[in-house]
A and B are shown apart, each in its own frame.
Chain A
Amino acid sequence: GAGVSQTPSNKVTEKGKYVELRCDPISGHTALYWYRQSLGQGPEFLIYFQGTGAADDSGLPNDRFFAVRPEGSVSTLKIQRTERGDSAVYLCASSHPDSSYNEQFFGPGTRLTVL
């Protein structure tokens, strides 16, 4: 079946602009996660959804970052007033908590570059 997909694959924007990054999880996966990975570092947790609600948003760096998942499937990560330090690969993952093997499956990521 189809894996986790993310769009766009690359996004270049100017400092101060608003961006939206989209994640399509694996069908039936109720848990969805956003991570951010800077060059040479491990993925850094941002936010986790269980269904439509944010179960844990403790990783969002500040109030410029916001994520939604209105119907419990697709999620959008929104970044306002982008800064150069926001440049990174934004990874989305999904998992099915009811399965016996609760692997988080990652998408290919969106590479965000803020000029």
Chain B
Amino acid sequence: GENVEQHPSTLSVQEGDSAVIKCTYSDSASNYFPWYKQELGKRPQLIIDIRSNVGEKKDQRIAVTLNKTAKHFSLHITETQPEDSAVYFCAASETSYDKVIFGPGTSLSVIP
């Protein structure tokens, strides 16, 4: 089955700097890669996703890249703000309405 790895497990950046989280997946059948943000005690919320027919997608300060050949995908947050502090999960799925396999998470702290 699918296995998603993620690093770093913790990341601390100064406000205004960029943050990068990297993930790898194992199943070449995966075609949908969502990213979730989970604040302490809250439910996971989708922040951006990318499908395998696209190499890069951007939404304001957030961008994701996908390298299907290498089975790598990454999240980039620019101009970080304290409210970006949360745990971020990458995930992989065969389709966007299939089961989602989550990575172990990255705890991001943005220092004011």
Residues of A within 8 A of B (CB): 31, 33, 35, 40-45, 48, 56, 58-59, 91, 95, 97, 102-104, 106-109
Contacts and interface: CB of A to CB of B under 8 A. Distances in A.
Contacts, number: 53
B43 A109 contact: yes
Interface in B81-112: 89, 91, 95-105
Tier of interface size on chain B: 20 to 34
Interface of B: 1, 4, 34, 42-46, 49, 89, 91, 95-105
Q: Say whether chain B's binding surface is mostly helix, strand, loop, or mixed.
A: loop
Contacts of A59: 99
B89 A45 contact: no
A40 B99 CA distance: 21
B43 A42 contact: no
Contact of A43 (B45, B49, B89, B95): B89
Contacts of B91: 42
A35 to B, nearest CB: 8
Contacts of B103: 42
B105 to A, nearest CB: 5
